[in-house]
Amino acid sequence: LGTTLDDAAGEAFDKGAKILGLPYPGGPLVDAMAKQGDARRFDLPLPQVKGLDMSFSGVKSAFRNRVLSIPPDALEDELPHLCASLQRSIVDILLRKLQKAGRTLGIPRVAVSGGVSANSALREQVQALAEREGWEVFIPPFAYCTDNAAMIGMTGHFLYHSGRFAALDTVPVPRW
State the Cα–Cα distance between residues 29 and 35, nearest whole angstrom: 10
Task: Verify cis geometry, omega within 30 degrees of 0, for the bond prior to 25.
Answer: yes
Residue 122, in any domain of the structure? yes
Identify the pLDDT of residue 176.
Answer: 47
124 within domain boundaries: yes
Chain segment 140-166, per-residue pLDDT in tens: 888 878 766 666 777 788 888 899 888
Q: Is 16 among the domain residues? A: yes
CA–CA distance from 156 to each of 3, 53, 140, 164, 165 (Å)? 22, 26, 16, 9, 9
- Torsion sign across C-alpha atoms 47, 49, 52, 54: negative
Domain membership flag for residue 176: no
Average pLDDT over residues 14-40: 95
Residue 166 lies in a domain: no
Residue 119 located in a structural domain: yes
What CATH number is given to the structural domain containing 117? 3.30.420.40
Q: Which domain holds residue 95?
A: 9-161
Distance CA 114, CA 30 (A): 17
Share of the chain above pLDDT 90, in %: 69
For residue 174, tell me if it sits in a domain: no
pTM of the model: 0.85
**Over 80: is that where the pLDDT of 63 sits?**
yes
Number of domains within the chain? 1
Q: Assess if residue 168 is contained within a domain.
A: no
